[in-house]
């Protein structure tokens, strides 16, 4: 098939359990795609890690798979105009700037090993300022506490930090560092404002790293990525590897912000809710941040190039699809994820079973870091169908809690 004057765009979607790569036509329809799951590393209860190099390789594999499809359909690689990136957000990686070597596995956003660090930080002078400055409650969720843990438990990372060469990045920064270069072929160390707003090192009002926040977490020597607008024609460089060598990267957003943009929630008062490993509702609040009193997060929704940032309130739920994966992989109740709906539909209700899917604490609006998953109401009457139903309902109940918080603000501002 001849592409003629058609132009295409491409997108990397690096998620918590899999990586995907898409090539879209001018109507936004995918003409080629490839997806690859990768292993989750569970060393202890509440711990979730990824191999940083597996993340990079999964992106390479997905790019190769999708571009092979694209070429097989008669299109040409030069007809792809640009590439964008979206990624799991708070997941944290550190590396040595001299060698580019990652010094510890990526600690995933849903990991709860930092409960003791959070408890210590909450009693520290200045802790009461964090919510207003960052829009985030002090919890195991943001990146800063994960980096703090790495420094306390990885002597190699601590040594490099002491020498002033320890770089930190969320997954977008790590991927760009490994896959793209700037105009003078140097490695990039960059992030976008939506990902930076999840580190707890960025002041949500100034959109800059705040010296008070960096000092509060004891990360003064950490080499932080440059913060750029979400769409940017120069900040994210060009891909340096075949088959897309030379293709310009023009956009980068954290996954939930990307979903907000993808659902075209550009106007104040619009919202989206997406269901993946976790479940996240984002509500567009316009160009001024609104700090929630209802346990919601304040985050950067997106920032177009040369435009002011647009903020959002977020209801973050750590476990949605992850609970389905749990039933499949840990309990063996289902062989494929799609089976859960079929089993749940066989019963009129959960039979009194309630599943609190707090595998790594409870997120919005509760923020109980040391909560654990619990199944209540099991009797002789309980079947796997009831547990499947309770698993689905667990997501529904948590979404309702987030929705109530957003509705209260919406009604107040109307």
Q: In whole angstroms, what is the distance from residue 70 CA to residue 52 CA?
A: 28
Q: Is the pLDDT of residue 139 over 60?
A: yes
* pLDDT digit string, tens, across residues 95-126: 999 999 999 999 999 999 999 999 999 999 99
Q: In whole angstroms, what is the distance from residue 76 CA to residue 83 CA?
A: 15
Domain ranges of the chain: 8-257, 258-318, 321-401
Superfamily for the 321-401 domain: ATPase, nucleotide binding domain (3.30.420.40)
* pLDDT digit string, tens, across residues 217-233: 999 999 999 999 999 99
Q: Pick the closest to residue 178 from 165, 194, 167 (CA basis).
A: 167
Question: What is the residue-averaged pLDDT of the chain?
Answer: 93
Q: In whole angstroms, what is the distance from residue 404 CA to residue 80 CA?
A: 43
Q: In whole angstroms, what is the distance from residue 118 CA to residue 384 CA?
A: 37
Q: Confirm if 204 and 300 have CB atoms less than 8 A apart.
A: yes
What is the per-residue pLDDT for 2?
A: 47
Is it true that 8-257 and 321-401 share their CATH fold? yes
DSSP structural state of residue 286: E
pTM: 0.91
Q: Confirm if 280 and 371 have CB atoms less than 8 A apart.
A: no
Confidence of residue 203 (pLDDT cuts 50, 70, 90): very high
Q: Percentage of the chain surpassing pLDDT 70?
A: 96
Q: Pick the closest to residue 393 from 324, 316, 315 (CA basis).
A: 324
Q: How many Cα atoms sit within 13 Å of 142 on the Cβ side?
A: 26
Alpha helices, H only, 314-379: 321-326, 339-344
Q: In whole angstroms, what is the distance from residue 200 CA to residue 74 CA?
A: 46
* pLDDT digit string, tens, across residues 55-95: 999 999 999 999 999 999 999 999 999 999 999 999 999 99
What is the per-residue pLDDT for 183?
A: 73
Q: In whole angstroms, what is the distance from residue 80 CA to residue 74 CA?
A: 13
Exposed (0-12), middle (13-18) or buried (19+): which is 384, by Cβ within 10 Å? middle
Structural class in CATH, domain 8-257: alpha beta
Among all chains, which residue has been given the structure tokens 């711990």?
47
What is the per-residue pLDDT for 5?
A: 66
């Amino acid at each position: 098939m001849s592409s003629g004057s058609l132009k295409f765009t491409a997108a990397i979607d690096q998620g918590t359990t899999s990586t995907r790569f898409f090539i879209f036509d001018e109507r936004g329809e995918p003409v080629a795609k490839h997806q690859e799951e990768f292993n989750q590393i569970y060393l202890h209860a509440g711990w979730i890690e990824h191999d940083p190099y597996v993340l990079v390789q999964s992106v390479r594999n997905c790019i190769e798979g999708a571009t092979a499809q694209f070429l097989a359909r008669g299109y040409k690689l030069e007809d792809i105009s640009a590439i964008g990136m979206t990624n799991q957000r708070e997941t944290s990686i550190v590396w040595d700037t001299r060698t580019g070597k990652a010094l510890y596995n990526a600690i995933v956003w849903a990991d709860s090993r930092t409960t003791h660090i959070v408890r210590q930080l909450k009693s520290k002078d200045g802790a009461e300022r964090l919510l207003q400055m960052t829009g985030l409650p002090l919890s195991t969720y943001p990146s800063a506490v994960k980096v703090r843990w790495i420094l306390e438990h990885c002597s190699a990372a601590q040594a490099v930090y002491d020498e002033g060469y320890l770089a930190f990045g969320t997954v977008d920064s790590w991927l760009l560092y490994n896959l793209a270069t700037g105009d003078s072929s140097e490695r990039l160390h960059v992030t976008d404002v939506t990902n930076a707003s999840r580190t707890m090192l960025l002041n949500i009002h100034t959109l800059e790293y705040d010296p008070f926040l960096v000092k509060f977490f004891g990360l003064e020597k950490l080499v932080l990525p440059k913060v750029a607008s979400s769409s940017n024609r120069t900040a994210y460089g060009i891909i340096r590897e075949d088959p897309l060598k030379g293709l310009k990267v023009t956009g980068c957003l954290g996954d939930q912000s990307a979903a907000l943009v993808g659902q075209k929630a550009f106007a104040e008062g619009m919202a989206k809710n997406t269901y993946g490993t976790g479940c996240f509702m984002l509500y567009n609040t316009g160009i001024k941040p609104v700090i929630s009193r209802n346990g919601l997060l304040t985050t950067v929704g997106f920032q177009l190039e040369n435009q002011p940032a647009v903020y959002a309130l977020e209801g973050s739920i750590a476990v949605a699809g992850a609970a389905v994966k749990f039933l499949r992989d840990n309990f063996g109740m289902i062989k494929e994820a799609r089976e859960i709906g079929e089993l749940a539909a066989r019963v009129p209700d959960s039979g009194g079973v309630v599943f609190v899917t707090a595998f790594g604490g409870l997120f919005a609006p509760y923020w109980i870091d040391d909560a654990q998953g619990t199944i209540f109401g099991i009797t002789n009457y309980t079947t796997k169908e009831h547990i499947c139903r309770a698993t689905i309902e667990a997501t529904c109940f948590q979404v309702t809690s987030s929705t109530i918080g957003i509705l209260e603000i919406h009604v107040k501002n109307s």
